[in-house]
């Protein structure tokens, strides 16, 4: 499994969650990082493997670059404003 397949990226109501599909913690993927929509400050967990950090940072940068835009957070069209 390459790093792209290994990282789960979940769009949640308050931000984007990055998790490791290869590591199970209490029946869920291990959380690697979180990007809150309000601050757009990436929070990387200390346990995040170095090999996955670059991929997470690259994806987060693509979201951070959209500061001030509306971002869809649900399949029914709900949006949030990035980086208030």
Residues 3-38: pLDDT tens digits?
Answer: 678 999 999 989 999 999 999 999 999 999 999 999
Provide the residue ranges of all domains of the chain, joining segments of one domain with +: 3-81
Query: What sign does the dihedral 36-41-45-49 (CA atoms) show?
Result: positive
The per-residue pLDDT for 4 is 72
Q: pLDDT, tens digit, for every residue of 35-72?
A: 999 999 999 999 999 999 999 999 999 999 999 999 99
Report pTM. Answer: 0.92
Evaluate if residue 2 carries a pLDDT over 80: no
Cα separation, 22 vs 3, whole angstroms? 10
């Amino acid at each position: 499994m390459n790093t792209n397949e290994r990282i789960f990226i979940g769009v949640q109501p308050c931000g984007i969650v990055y998790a490791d599909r290869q590591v199970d913690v209490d029946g869920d993927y291990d959380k690697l990082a979180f990007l809150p929509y309000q601050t757009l400050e990436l929070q990387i967990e200390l346990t995040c493997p170095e090999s996955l950090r670059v991929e997470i940072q690259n994806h987060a940068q693509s979201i951070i670059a959209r500061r001030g835009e509306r971002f869809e957070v649900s399949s029914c069209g709900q949006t949030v404003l990035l980086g208030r």
